[in-house]
Amino acid sequence: MSNQLPAPDLPATEHSARLVALIQQEIAAAGGWLSFSEYMRLALYAPGLGYYQAGAAKFGEQGDFVTAPEISALFSACLAGQVAEVLVQTGCRTVLELGAGSGLMAADMLLELQRLQELPQRYLILEPSPDLRERQHHLLLQRVPDLLDRVVWLDSLPEKGFSGVIVANEVLDALPVSRFELGSSGAVELGISQEGAGLSVASRPVKGALKEFTGRLASMVDLPVGYRSEVCFAASGLIHSLGGFLDKGAVFLIDYGLPQAEFYSAERSDGTLRCHYRHHVHNDPLLYPGIQDITAWVDFTRVGEAALQAGLNVAAYTTQAHFLLHSGITAQLELRQTDSAVNNAQMSAQVQKLTLPGEMGEVFKVMLLTTDDVLPSTGFQGRDLRVNL
Ligand SMILES: C[S@@+](CC[C@H](N)C(=O)[O-])C[C@H]1O[C@@H](n2cnc3c(N)ncnc32)[C@H](O)[C@@H]1O
């Protein structure tokens, strides 16, 4: 696998080695074994060393992967239009973005909300990575200096009594997952142990919530011996927290994912965990800890169940293609046409990337969670996929 990937340079190799040493200390402190979710948490978020905490480029051409807001400002403009509809409907004046990445979506959303004359009083960002916070501040200062005074970075989620619209693009897929394998004598949890100077996958009998989950799964679906997959307890936890403080408003969740029946199917026998390294996708999370992204698809049935338990309504669920086409991406494209044929062709290609079924159009979904009496925005009209959940 590593032969097919570009080799990391010396500083990146040394960075990864420091993180491996930290993970080995944690393995030793935990008695020789770490759960995969704990490993993923360290690989992505260990202070100063985790992938999202340290200085590599990550997003865009120079980085490891490209997200929708990095592909085109039209994505953020469409989302802003939908957010504006909810702000108007509810009279709320606050937007909260979770996991703002490079800050580009925040900048483009603010510009569109300004154009629509629906600027929120405050645009809050909850970003756990100090390095990304700094980059977000820098980008917003460059792109929207006049609007920067509305942007506030939070250290933690609001406690209670929050009214507003929450947006999260590709955040749920970046949360640590538990991994399991179905064996002939029951399910095991996959974790990590030390092997020589490196790390290796090691299993333990499932316990607690994972035991309960795999037991239920095995009783519902006929899955082969050796089947591996993952479950994200952290995503349910995050949704519970949102339900706990959101008094009035809505949550737009955008991510690649599936309903549970498709997520846990025999054909997907190696799960959905993927690693992104310099625009190469592979499935070895131990390859370059700290310098590659590790992500898993979102089980939207589970997210919906967590929302209901948290007192929120699953108001809508559709594909990204449908959402963007019904949020006016074609009108946005026309609005931005210039005299440059090259520029126009580039924008059309971006729209295709965001909406074509073989690209991001179908695999990415948009879920809207609301408090009572908040109606879905127009982007969801006409293709309600909640029956699949
Ligand atoms: C894949 S990146 C997506 C970034 C950006 N939203 C985009 O679409 O380009 C995941 C982002 O979520 C952030 N993140 C991770 N865990 C989080 C959490 N519990 N709450 C909020 N943000 C989180 C990461 O630091 C990172 O900014």
Per-residue model confidence as pLDDT tens digits over 117-136: 999 999 999 999 999 999 99
Token couple for 319: 């594909």
* Nearest alpha carbon to residue 64 among 78, 35, 44: 44
Kindly give, in sequence order, each residue whose CB lies less than 8 Å from that of residue 284, ignoring residues fewer than 6 positions away.
1, 275
CA dist., res. 237 & res. 49, Å (int): 24
Pinpoint the alpha helices (H) of the chain. 10-29, 36-45, 68-71, 73-90, 104-115, 130-143, 208-220, 233-245, 260-263, 300-309, 320-326, 329-335, 341-355
In which band, very low, low, confident or very high, does the pLDDT at 166 lie, cut at 50, 70 and 90? very high
Whether residue 210 contacts residue 236, with contact meaning beta carbons closer than 8 Å, is answered with no
Q: Is the CB of 72 under 6 A from ligand 1?
A: no
pLDDT value of position 3:
60
In which band, very low, low, confident or very high, does the pLDDT at 1 lie, cut at 50, 70 and 90? low
pLDDT value of position 2:
53
Pocket test for ligand 1, best of 45, 166, 171 (most atoms within 8 A of CB): 171
Distance 274 CA to ligand 1 centre (A): 16
pLDDT value of position 33:
98
Does domain 2-7+66-175+231-382 correspond to CATH entry 1.10.10.10?
no
Given a cut of 60, whether residue 381 has pLDDT beyond it is yes
Burial class (CB in 10 A: 0-12, 13-18, 19+), 197: exposed
* Nearest alpha carbon to residue 233 among 166, 169, 141, 296: 296
* Nearest alpha carbon to residue 231 among 367, 37, 15: 37
Q: What is the DSSP letter of 163?
A: E
The helix (H) or strand (E) run that includes residue 379 is none
pLDDT digits (tens, 9 = 90+) for 278-314: 889 999 999 999 999 999 999 999 999 999 999 999 9
Percent of the chain scoring above 70 in pLDDT: 99
Q: Is the CB of 124 under 6 A from ligand 1?
A: no
Domain boundaries along the sequence of the chain: 2-7+66-175+231-382
pLDDT digits (tens, 9 = 90+) for 33-62: 999 999 999 999 999 999 999 867 777 777
Distance 56 CA to ligand 1 centre (A): 15
Task: Give the amino acid at 163.
Answer: S
- Using CA positions, which residue lies closest to atom 5 of ligand 1? 101
Q: Is the CB of 63 under 6 A from ligand 1?
A: no
Q: What is the mean pLDDT of residues 65-92?
A: 96
Given a cut of 90, whether residue 6 has pLDDT beyond it is no
Given a cut of 60, whether residue 226 has pLDDT beyond it is yes
Kindly give, in sequence order, each residue whose CB lies less than 8 Å from that of residue 98, ignoring residues fewer than 6 positions away.
126, 166, 167, 168, 171, 238
Percent of the chain scoring above 90 in pLDDT: 89
CA dist., res. 363 & res. 205, Å (int): 33
- Using CA positions, which residue lies closest to atom 7 of ligand 1? 101
Distance 174 CA to ligand 1 centre (A): 6
Q: Is the CB of 252 under 6 A from ligand 1?
A: no
C-alpha dist (Å) from residue 360 to 68, 205, 263, 323: 8, 37, 17, 12
Distance 303 CA to ligand 1 centre (A): 17
Distance 225 CA to ligand 1 centre (A): 34
Q: What's the chain's average pLDDT?
A: 95
- Using CA positions, which residue lies closest to atom 4 of ligand 1? 101
C-alpha dist (Å) from residue 56 to 68, 203, 237, 238, 323: 19, 31, 28, 26, 32
Instruction: Please give the model's pTM, rounded to 2 decimal places.
Output: 0.97
In which band, very low, low, confident or very high, does the pLDDT at 156 lie, cut at 50, 70 and 90? very high
Distance 340 CA to ligand 1 centre (A): 34
- Using CA positions, which residue lies closest to atom 11 of ligand 1? 99
pLDDT digits (tens, 9 = 90+) for 8-18: 889 889 999 99
Whether residue 61 contacts residue 354, with contact meaning beta carbons closer than 8 Å, is answered with no
Determine which of 166-180, 236-250, 338-352 has the lowest per-residue pLDDT on average. 338-352
Q: Is the CB of 169 under 6 A from ligand 1?
A: yes
Q: Is the CB of 108 under 6 A from ligand 1?
A: no
Distance 97 CA to ligand 1 centre (A): 9
Distance 180 CA to ligand 1 centre (A): 24
Q: Is the CB of 52 under 6 A from ligand 1?
A: yes
Kindly give, in sequence order, each residue whose CB lies less than 8 Å from that of residue 152, ignoring residues fewer than 6 positions away.
122, 123, 124, 125
Q: What is the mean pLDDT of residues 55-75?
A: 86
Given a cut of 90, whether residue 317 has pLDDT beyond it is yes
* Nearest alpha carbon to residue 294 among 75, 103, 36, 48: 36
